[in-house]
Structure 1
Amino acid sequence: MAPGPAGSVRPVAVVGPTATGKSDLALDLAERLGGEIVNVDAMQMYRGMDIGTAKLPVAERRGIAHHQLDVLDVTETATVATYQERARRDVERLLAAGRTPVIVGGSMMYYQALLDEWSFPATDPEVRERFERRLEEIGPLALHRELAGLDPAAGAKILPSDGRRIVRALEVVTITGEPFAASAPEIGPARWDTAVVAVDRDTAALDERIALRTRLMFEHGLVDEVRGLEERGLREGVTASRAIGYAQVLAALDGEYDLDRAQELTFVGTRRYVRRQRSWFRRDPRVVWLDGAGAGLLDEALAAHAAPPWRPSGGGTDRP
């Protein structure tokens, strides 16, 4: 095992775009390094959201313990701050026990909250509720224009369709009186000197994998899964109901379009999200990129884990 900063075991993070093969590589690493999995996929934290998130069934986890998986009900709101606190405790416990944390997933902000120095501004329920009401009244595009007027940098960075992040940015600007970017972390040495590898594939090949995965999700019961989660309050969930696949099926059940169209839109949404993931992780200089189709994938990941920890070469750090 590669040593950490105090001579202990060293975590490894397996990140990158959806459908590239991260889960299998993470399991291989956990077997070789005597480790356990720490999930960093926001939607896989929800109990019952299995098919649409491509969550590994228990029988396929090779007896390896998984953390931050199935820890939320669909009515609960997933937050980066809460995940940061809980996942860091999991990693610390594993390190203390001499077990290698294998961090795996593609949720970008959750990954950065786990590995970087990131303090979250306090929330104010009244302020947030005010902007959430505003979002309902005027919609995300108009609210995004208001954000851009107050904080042009945040307006340029946050998608006009991302209502939740628009509301959060407005909340932070209102509470702190500072630009939203002032609360963002800067890239530095990863916490615990974690080695970071990202799995990617040729774009055309990955699109084919996404199309196949999407088709199989619908064939293997995604619609029934959504119907069952409806009974458990899925529609009331702020984050769960907006997950790719789930949002499209809910719209189909509401008669907005048919299930074939829901499948098509799920593929399109997943492909768009993959482009965002790829672009985001490419800006992180700590990441060692691996070809998911390569024959030596595990050996390359083990070599990255054994390599010296990343350090800035000079001149400051960059925000992803």
Structure 2
Amino acid sequence: MSAPPLVAVVGPTATGKSDLGIALARALGGEVVNADAMQLYRGMDIGTAKLGPAERAGVPHHLLDVLDVTETASVAAYQRDARAVVERLRAAGRTPVLVGGSGLYVQAVVDELDFPGTDPTLRAELEAELAERGAEAMHARLAAVDPAAAEVVLPTNGRRIVRALEVIALTGRPFPARLPTAGPPRYDAVLLGVDRPVAELDDRVARRVARMFAAGLVEETRTLLAAGLRDGLTASRALGYQQVVAALDGDGDLLVAAEETVRATRRFVRRQRSWFRRDRRVHWLDGAATDLAEGAMAHVAARVSS
């Protein structure tokens, strides 16, 4: 069959997206483009479940290990870099397979999402206010000027609250108004979602976190701390690493850190599911199905031939 211009494999953490992405890339003569914000970082391997070279089955992967932990990940920069990779692969006759659970990053590639610039003076003022008043007070301010934005930005995410207030001030428009409605995706992309029943996924998350701690997550975190993890506005908030750092800075109870990682990851999974389920273009697949790859290929084939 003819290869599609772009396939995106999305959905919550721990559903099996990475393996499906590799299977599709091999079947379609393609290459994987990472859409997991935390896998952009060098050295953040165990805690992000990043596939090692041997696990990639010879399939080239792009946009892994491109940032130091001290650098701040930017959706605008990711959009520029990911689209450049997608277009380069397409020009070479290769099928890009976009794989990841960072919803805004996926949307930045497949939708006409624009990113207003920043005003250093305004940003500094908002960040100073954040430091003085705290994230919850800033979130209340956001709710007063843009209730819809406050619904989609977590009250604890000071960086996103500041960005939302900055964009509102710069554009004079509500923050979510910049997010496009779901029309035909860019590159005529085929969007595949992978999910599992809630109870099964909760169990998979617990087992995944246990494997990470057994595989050396604490030692990896210590190495990243030496490389400046505390200074990374984005990387320092990564699930698992955040909880290990809190334990190392506190009473050293790594069992509690593991339990907190499980709880935080389960909450994150629910937010991911809510984000992706809103997109009616996504064709959902059961990650537990024994014929998952075949089902995905069948849908891709039907879309290409239609």
TM-score (normalised: structure 2) = 0.97
State the Cα deviation string for residues 94-136 of structure 1 (Å, max 9, x = none): 0000001011010010000110001111111221121112111
Letter aligned with residue 203 of structure 1:
V
Match of 2:289 among 294, 301, 304: 294
Runs of 4+ in 1 over 2 A off after TM superposition: none
Verify: 1:48 aligned to 2:43, yes or no.
Answer: yes
2:15 aligned partner? 20
Residue identity matched to 1:123: T
Helix, strand or coil at the partner of 2:8: strand
Distance 1:84 1:151 in 2: 25
Which amino acid in 1 is paired with 2:58?
G
Tell me, in whole angstroms, the C-alpha distance in 1 between the residues paired with 2:274 and 2:288: 20
Match of 2:198 in 1: 203
Distance (Å, rounded) in 1 between the aligned partners of 2:98 and 2:278: 19
Q: 1:251 aligns with which of 246, 250, 262?
A: 246
1:68 to 52, 63, 70: 63
- Give CA deviations for 1:211-267 in whole Å, capped at 9, x if unaligned: 010011111100110100111110000000001111111111101561111100100
Output the CA distance in 2 between the equivalents of 1:46 and 1:227.
15
Q: Which residue of 2 aligns with 1:77?
A: 72
What is residue 2 of structure 1 aligned with on the other side? Answer: 2
Paired residues, number: 305
Percent of aligned pairs sharing the same letter: 61
Relative to its length, the structure with more helix (as a share) is 2
Displacement after TM superposition at 1:195 (Å): 0.4
Matched, 1:212 2:196: no
Counterpart Cα distance in 2 of 1:114 and 1:54: 22
**CA RMSD after TM alignment:** 1.4
Match of 2:163 in 1: 168
Letter in 2 for 1:2: S
Q: Secondary structure at 1:307's aligned position in 2? A: helix
Aligned to 1:318: none
Q: In structure 1, what is the Cα distance between the partners aligned to 2:167 and 2:201?
A: 37
**1:139: Cα distance to partner?**
1.1
CA shift digits 1:41-86 (9 cap, x unpaired): 0000000000000000111111111001101000000011000000
- Give 3-state SS (helix, strand or coil) of 2:222's partner: helix
Q: Is the 8 A contact 1:2 1:305 kept in 2?
A: no
AA aligned opposite 2:145: L
Q: Which residue of 2 aligns with 1:108?
A: 103
Query: What is the deviation of 1:304?
Result: 1.7
Matches for 1:239-318 after TM superposition, within 5 Å: 239-255=234-250, 258-308=253-303
* Partner amino acid, structure 2, of 1:147: L
Q: Separation in 2 of the partners of 1:136 and 1:259?
A: 29
> Structure 1: any 5+ residue segments left out of the alignment?
4-8, 312-320
Separation of aligned partners in 2, 1:257 and 1:156: 35
1:123 aligns with 2:118: yes
Secondary structure (helix, strand or coil) at the match of 2:114 reads coil
Structure 2 residue identity aligned to 1:269: A
Cα deviation 1:23-57 (Å, max 9, x = unaligned): 11111111111010000000000000000000001
Give the equivalent residue in structure 2 for 1:153.
148
Q: State the one-letter code of the partner of 1:266.
A: T
The one-letter code sitting in structure 1 at the alignment partner of 2:112 is E
Contiguous gaps of at least 5 residues in structure 2? none
User: Among residues 138, 141, 158, which one is paired with 1:143 in the alignment?
Assistant: 138
> 2:92 is aligned with what amino acid?
A
What amino acid is aligned across from residue 64 of structure 2 in structure 1? L
Corresponding residue SS for 1:185: coil
Letter in 2 for 1:92: E
CA distance, structure 2, for counterparts of residue 299 and residue 127 of structure 1: 51
Contact 1:11 1:102 in 2 (8 A): yes
| 1:308 CA drift (Å) | 3.0
Normalised by the length of structure 1, the TM-score is 0.93
Give the Cα–Cα distance (whole angstroms) in 1 for the partners of residues 236 and 150 of structure 2. Answer: 24
| AA in 1 matched with 2:2 | A
For the structure 1 residues 257 and 272, does the alpha-carbon distance in structure 2 shift closer, same or farther, using more than 3 Å as the test? farther
For residue 224 of structure 2, the aligned residue among 205, 229, 236 is 229
1:11 and 1:193 in contact (8 A); partners too: yes
* 2:91 matched residue in structure 1: 96
